[in-house]
Amino acid sequence: MKAKVIKPFKDKYTKVRYNEGELLTVTKERFEEMNSTALGILVEEVKQEHKPKKQPASKKKKSKSG
């Protein structure tokens, strides 16, 4: 899932510092763990829009006039 940082923090596992506005890809479990700290809510879920797949253009058969 995608998550957006709303409060700067340093990841306790990777030691990477994340700043406000950055996007992360995390598991649901990790998302919940990040938001259960004494620091409060650190990230929010980013809802992904599902774009409909483009339908291939139907090919029109050319009729032979004659």
pLDDT in tens, 6-52: 999 999 999 999 999 999 999 999 999 999 999 999 999 999 776 66
d(CA 37, CA 1): 19
Q: What are phi and psi of 30, to 5 degrees?
A: -65, -40
Task: Convert 33-66 to b/e letters by CB count within 10 Å (16 or more is b).
Answer: ebbeeeeeebbeeeeeeeeeeeeeeeeeeeeeee
pTM of the entire structure?
0.68
